[in-house]
Structure 1
């Protein structure tokens, strides 16, 4: 096994140059490596033009657009680049597609949303239900396993179930759902399945073919890239759905769902992000195709992050008054990403965030848009949790410094 090259990895991120700041706010957005920044800058300098022109800058923009869709398809293991819709962010894409998908349903049809999801995978579907007269059913997660259990989903499915919005990994508890099993249940009942993989993508490589879902969405700024939302949809569905578009827009896919001028410079950054992940695979001793190298990178990330997670959780659970919100058993770490949340019996979550910020440690407090999980767990919405999110560029020293700061505050 190649030793994890943490110094080489950290040297790729300009934000870490000569900085003592511990960036443990990763569930809200990750740092960006040098090649991504360079690609964005180069595109702004050389391809700052609209698509479809006969001059060089426009042709460069065309090439950037297509290359980014190819890279995004490879990232999620899509069958075709035409299955990829790239927009400003995941939530905007969900609201946009809700207006489209909802038109295919009838009043009284049922949709299922979960108590585990970020609001970006709840509010768009509540709005869809209100607009088209649909019945909303709520799917809770199990507070012992911290996951959505198949039997709980099965109990909600009926012949009128048309849509399931499912969370892959929680942005509060870090728990990973068995989305393939849950998708199979919903598909057997005749429902479309939408997977929110935003929190999974920084830590595990998505594979839409293995899941069997109809849609999967993630955000590149959560996996070391620019501020974009990336949506995969099954080709036959994208061709059949009625898009909202301007009259002179192409009716081919993905064009029919891509409104307005694309963010060309950010698309260049997206491709560079995929290339960075492949490079990280090489740096960890992996070879093969770009996707195989990405898979290798994620394998190495997972092993490295698990060790940091184990140390952080063991340190937190040893402190008086701390209650962990999520899976704490190291034997079950395969069922979680390294997003660790906790509360304290007497110290405000916001006090933790303020105290750690004063020591150059970036974390979050509050519900962090995980409104339903906070309600399901009986947490005060204005308090929520203290949330620490580990990424593959964080160091053991940062974890120790964070634990020391938390222990000092608790004491």
Structure 2
């Protein structure tokens, strides 16, 4: 096996060359490699025109738009680039599509949302339910497995179930759900399934064909790219749903769900992000198509991050008064991403965050928009958790620095 090239990986990220900061705030947004920054700047300099013109700058913008949709399709393993809707962020896309989907539903129809999700995958659907008179059912996660279990979903499904909003990986506990099994149950009952893959995408490569869902959403700024939201939907479904557009826009897909002038420079950055992931695959000893190289990169990321996660969780659980919120057994790391949250019996979560920030270590405290998980776990909504998020460019010495600060606070 090729040794993980951590120094080569880190050299791709300008932020890591400019300071000793330990960026462990990755669940909220990851760093961006140089090639993404360069692609954004180059596009702003040479292709800042709107689409559809007969002059060169506009034609360059057209090509960038198309390339980004093709790259996004490759990232999620879509059947066609036309299945990709790209917008400002996942939450905005969810609110937009909630308006669209609501037009296919009737009062009394049932939707299911989970106690595991970020508010971006709850609030849009609650608003949809309120506007259309829908019945909302809440799907809990299991406090022992830290995952959503199929039997709990089965208990909520009925002939009136029309929609399930499902979390792939938790932004608080890091738990990864068996979304393929859960999707199969919901679709067999006649429901549409929307997957929030925002927290999975920095660590594992999504595959909509393997999942079998109807929609999958993620955000490229969570997987080393620019601030964009990415939505995949089944082509036949997207064509059948009511459009959400201005009158003179195309009725084809994805145009019928695209509003306003696209962020062409960020679309260029998205393509460069996919190319970075393929480059990382090559750097870790993998070859093949762009997606195959991406898959290789993610396999390398996963193995490397698991080592850092093992050290962080082992160090935290050895400290007095620390309570981990998530899977701690290394044998079950396949069921989690390296987002590690904890509380302490006497030290405020915000005190931990402040002390770590003073040592140039970035982490988050609070509920981090995981409002329902905080409630489900009986946590203070104001205090929430201390959240430490590992990415493939973090180093072991950063984990050691972090544990040292936490140990001083609890000793």
Distance, in Å, in 2 between the alignment partners of 1:234 and 1:243 is 15
Q: Deviations over 1:347-379 (max 9, x none)?
A: 000000000000000000000000000000000
**Residue in 2 aligned with 1:388?**
388
Task: Give 3-state SS (helix, strand or coil) of 2:221's partner.
Answer: helix
Gapped regions of structure 1 (runs ≥ 5)? none
Q: Does 1:369 align with 2:353?
A: no
**Residue in 2 aligned with 1:264?**
264
Q: Deviations over 1:151-209 (max 9, x none)?
A: 00000000000000000000000000000000000000000000000000000000000
**Residue in 1 aligned with 2:359?**
359
Distance, in Å, in 2 between the alignment partners of 1:48 and 1:166 is 37
Distance, in Å, in 1 between the alignment partners of 2:48 and 2:376 is 47
Partners of 2:244 and 2:258 within 8 A in 1: no
Distance, in Å, in 2 between the alignment partners of 1:166 and 1:71 is 24
User: In the TM superposition, what are the counterparts of 1:328-347 in structure 2 within 5 Å?
Assistant: 328-347=328-347
**Residue in 2 aligned with 1:182?**
182
Partners of 2:109 and 2:162 within 8 A in 1: yes
Distance, in Å, in 1 between the alignment partners of 2:197 and 2:209 is 14
Q: Structure 1 residue runs of 4+, over 4 Å off?
A: none
Task: Give 3-state SS (helix, strand or coil) of 1:104's partner.
Answer: coil
**Residue in 1 aligned with 2:201?**
201
Distance, in Å, in 1 between the alignment partners of 2:18 and 2:269 is 24
Gapped regions of structure 2 (runs ≥ 5)? none
**Residue in 2 aligned with 1:398?**
398
Distance, in Å, in 2 between the alignment partners of 1:350 and 1:172 is 15
Normalised TM-score (structure 1): 1.00
**Residue in 1 aligned with 2:44?**
44
Distance, in Å, in 2 between the alignment partners of 1:7 and 1:354 is 28
Q: Does 1:25 align with 2:31?
A: no
CA RMSD of aligned residues (A): 0.3
Q: In the TM superposition, what is the alpha-carbon distance from 1:269 to its structure 2 partner?
A: 0.1
Distance, in Å, in 1 between the alignment partners of 2:142 and 2:9 is 37
Q: In the TM superposition, what is the alpha-carbon distance from 1:19 to its structure 2 partner?
A: 1.2
**Residue in 1 aligned with 2:160?**
160
Task: Give 3-state SS (helix, strand or coil) of 1:260's partner.
Answer: coil
**Residue in 1 aligned with 2:307?**
307
Q: In the TM superposition, what is the alpha-carbon distance from 1:243 to its structure 2 partner?
A: 1.6
Partners of 2:214 and 2:234 within 8 A in 1: yes
